[in-house]
Amino acid sequence: MTKLKSKQEEYAKLGIIVRIEEQPFAIVIVTPVMKRAHRLKTAGDIVFVDSTASCDAEHNSLTFMLTVTVAGAVPLAIIITKAQGLEDYMSVIQLVRNVLGDNAFGGQGEPKLFMTGDSDAERGALQQLWDKSHAVSKEDQPLLYKSLKNILIASSLPAAEDAFKKAMGDELAKKYPQWISYISNYWERRECWCLCYRDATTHGNQTNNFSEVSVRLYKDIVLRRFMEQYYIRRLRDFSHGRCDKKRLFLKTLNKGKYLSKEVIKKTGNFTFKVPSEQNIGVYDVDIEMGYCSCEIGRLGSLCKHQAGVYFFFLDMNESTTDDRYNMAILALGDNAQKREFYAPIAIRNTDNSNSNENDSAPDVLQIQTATTSETVSSNINPLMEVVNGKNDEADTLFQKLIDTIKTKHQTYGSSPTIINRCVKRLQNVKHRGAWDTYLSSFGTDINIRKRSGAAICVQPTALARRKARVTKGSRRLPSGRPPSCETQRTCKRKRNLASNVRKNLPNAKSHGSAH
């Protein structure tokens, strides 16, 4: 402690704030990057808080405060405490407020939302729901878990209240008084965990994944020494365009492929009306706020309706010049280059003021474009005739398919259950490849050729000579290489907690034996 106090002045010369409180023990660290991060708008919206214990020989606890940016999570402060008790956290949070002042967290003094691990000290520690002391049988656990999940994912407050009443009035729940008490206690704090109380302020973040990743970085990558340099390098790489975010973002836009530009109606500068994929409903999309009125988009996540608007109406650059410039200031401060330095190399000039300058010189681009367009159009016309001919033939055959289906339905009738199953499979077709697969596998269990005559059976003695696990039927065995479907390999159990809970199976291990 004495050594740390002696270095406080040296840290202050570098712009690093280190505050020490001895009773109870607490240390707050704020680096220059963290100071600049408090100016971000998102720092006033949501802050992630997470702790990890036993970080050194003294078993001190390390707590991160982070916010979300276009380049990922950025720390706002680092807190070191002796323990993770309520008094420790109250003391150190007060110390953070004294250090940062009223201009912290986007100039608001405090964020609109904290995302923590839900503990009694740090907004409630993560409890073991299926602890043995609860005496809940293994067969009843998935059903009780589902009732709690229905409350969690309810789309509106009335729906959450109905789900809570069903969970409390269930005959299965009445078998476990501790479960009733558990649900009642959580219901009193429903504003903290029910999704129906959340909106786009969370920017699509419903868990503390950002803080979990940063704690992992502290342990494995940063190695407790180079955290500031690591974040500076990462933010600088983003501002210099050295990220694959464009490719990954374009990949996420595939979910909006069912839409077309004609069906999306623009109602304002940033607002759109987007039709639903499953029904005749229409959703409101605001791309400035990153909001959609659907169940996924209302919480700030990227839904397929927003993806369609981004794909058809927005420039799909990796990031804007302002984004790169802001991240450069966050990383380098006054040493950042001018805003023009972070502009893209190829700029599409849509300003009419430059058109007069270009009119005086021969427009080589327009001449080349006109010549090229004439050549291309002359080459495309014969090709378009062939394509149109193929489309006419396909339309004729498809109409023949529809007429044949109607004839078979009128002749033999159809089961509503089977028709409903067929419609669901048809609705799952999202792209051209799936549509071709659906058409090619349509009715594959019915033979195209009708085999005349009876099949020739094998000799009875041949059946007796067959090995075990081989059919004893009178048909001959297929010749050649055995089909791969005869010996089915046992698949590993998925490492998916929710799926295994629904199937009443233990969760799979990620490493080691017995999995």
Class of residue 163 by CB neighbours under 10 A (exposed 0-12, middle 13-18, buried 19+) = buried
Judge contact between 176 and 134, C-beta under 8 A.
Answer: yes
Q: How far apart are CA 229 and CA 129, in angstroms?
A: 40
Asked whether residue 180 carries a pLDDT value surpassing 50, the answer given is yes
Q: What is the DSSP letter of 173?
A: H
Q: How far apart are CA 499 and CA 407, in angstroms?
A: 43
304-308, 323-327, 403-407, 488-492: segment of lowest average pLDDT: 488-492
pLDDT bin (cut points 50, 70, 90) of residue 475 is: confident
Strand-pair partners of 274: 283
Asked whether residue 284 carries a pLDDT value surpassing 80, the answer given is yes
Q: What is the DSSP string of 201-236?
A: GGTT--S-HHHHHHHHHHHHTSTTT-HHHHHHHHHH
Asked whether residue 365 carries a pLDDT value surpassing 60, the answer given is no
pLDDT digits (tens, 9 = 90+) for 96-148: 777 887 778 787 777 777 777 666 666 543 333 324 455 677 777 788 888 88
* Residue that has been written with the tokens 């990383």 in this structure: 331
pLDDT value of residue 55: 62
Q: How far apart are CA 340 and CA 345, in angstroms?
A: 10
pLDDT value of residue 217: 63
Q: How far apart are CA 432 and CA 111, in angstroms?
A: 46
Judge contact between 17 and 28, C-beta under 8 A.
Answer: yes
pLDDT bin (cut points 50, 70, 90) of residue 95 is: confident
Asked whether residue 187 carries a pLDDT value surpassing 70, the answer given is yes
CA distances from 250 to 261, 273, 297, 310, 377 (A): 17, 21, 18, 9, 30
Asked whether residue 377 carries a pLDDT value surpassing 50, the answer given is no
pLDDT bin (cut points 50, 70, 90) of residue 514 is: low
Asked whether residue 355 carries a pLDDT value surpassing 70, the answer given is no
pLDDT value of residue 387: 45
Asked whether residue 251 carries a pLDDT value surpassing 80, the answer given is no
Asked whether residue 485 carries a pLDDT value surpassing 70, the answer given is no
pLDDT bin (cut points 50, 70, 90) of residue 382 is: very low
pLDDT digits (tens, 9 = 90+) for 298-312: 877 888 888 888 888
Coil, helix or strand for 50?
strand
What is the overall mean pLDDT for the chain? 74
pLDDT value of residue 215: 67
Q: How far apart are CA 333 and CA 326, in angstroms?
A: 10
* Residue that has been written with the tokens 């505050």 in this structure: 19
pLDDT value of residue 142: 81
For the chain, the 3-state helix, strand and coil shares in percent, each to the nearest 5, are: 50, 10, 40
pLDDT value of residue 364: 34
Q: What is the largest CA-CA distance in the chain?
A: 100
pLDDT digits (tens, 9 = 90+) for 411-448: 888 888 888 888 888 888 877 777 888 888 877 766 65
Q: How far apart are CA 46 and CA 66, in angstroms?
A: 9
The better pLDDT of the pair 72, 84 is held by: 72
Judge contact between 104 and 34, C-beta under 8 A.
Answer: no
Q: How far apart are CA 15 and CA 233, in angstroms?
A: 18
Q: What is the DSSP string of 291-353?
A: EESSTTGGGT---HHHHHHHHHHS---SS-HHHHHHHHHHHHGGGSPPGGGGS-SS-----GG
